[in-house]
Structure 1
Amino acid sequence: MGNNISQECNICVEKKSSKLFLVITSKCKHDTNVCRECVEKHIDTSLSGKGDVIIHCPSGECKQVIEHNDVKKIVSHELFERTMPDFKWCKNSKCGSGQIHYQRDDAPIMTCESCGEKSCYTHDVPWHENMSCAQYEEKRKESEAATNHYLMRHTKPCPKCGTHIEKNGGCNHMTCKIRSCSYEFCWL
């Protein structure tokens, strides 16, 4: 006998599996009574407005603000990026904060309001000290060209999945190391 418990969404009024309901914010004190699909639609609609947007929990009388971290957990990556193009996450792996950077490429140095770490808005990487964005882009292209040159000279693509494979000795019998592929072929 399965545990397929269903409940009714307070917005779309459809009965759905209770697995499709979520706690909207960590500050919400109510039961999970709105399905994920309705919460996503609520956020999408709210973010379609102009100017600064404050999104409140769509559950009845709850007026808790849905913060950036909550939005990221709820909506798809594509929707999050599309609706908040000026928002960037801090590049400090120990931070976990993010912010909106309205100056965009006009002032690419972004300083995290939480930890003070500097990052590049244009390239979405930690700030490239002693290099302008143009210099960084040139160095990145040179590095990419060197990588491609190395791959062409020292590797062969797996005939099945295309993953680059480097022969490091032994016989010419090769097996792709990608677990889902494991194609066997002759190096020659």
Structure 2
Amino acid sequence: ALFRPSKPMSTYLVAFVVGEYNVLTATTLGLSGSVPTSVVYPLTYEQTDAEWALRNAYKILPYYEGLFDVPYPLPKMDHAAIFDFAAGAMENWGLITYRSTDLMANEDDESEASLKNVVVVVAHELAHQWFGDIVTMEWWNDLWLNEGFASFVENLGVDYVQPQYQIWNDYVMMVSSALDLDVSRYTHPIQQP
């Protein structure tokens, strides 16, 4: 196979997925024009298990483009489900990899909590396409910037596509808990030397 040259990127964002997979694709329209958005999933899953993630990812990508006024710069966006993926999810540029349980969910069979988790993780990883991928910190001691921005912006994405989740209530609870930890004597600086 022949690969087109990619845009310059941080080496930690390069990924390949090799195996027998099915693919479900929809084309989204945004500032960058048409962007094929796909869910790549193991053969043991049904197409209906990929539809929930795709339906939400398909809407979040152009929403983020408009929100940031920065076009998504790659020719496609793939979301790949991987069994027992230890990291949970990884924001590889243009090929986000997920533990299969964080991406695959049949809307008719899964609990509301499972469906919500898929949307939150997809929104978080898509936020990283801008915060962490287009703009990458100079060194690992600033990783908190990547995660901080993505952790905030995910709420905007979730609220846009699934407002009934009232995600901002979860955010307030999380921030309140974090502030409680910050005032304890066991706190540490966010930037580690």
Do Structure 1 and Structure 2 share a fold, with TM-score over 0.5?
no
- Between Structure 1 and Structure 2, whose CA radius of gyration is higher? 1
TM-score between the two structures when normalised by the length of structure 1: 0.24
TM-score between the two structures when normalised by the length of structure 2: 0.23
Higher share of residues assigned helix: 2
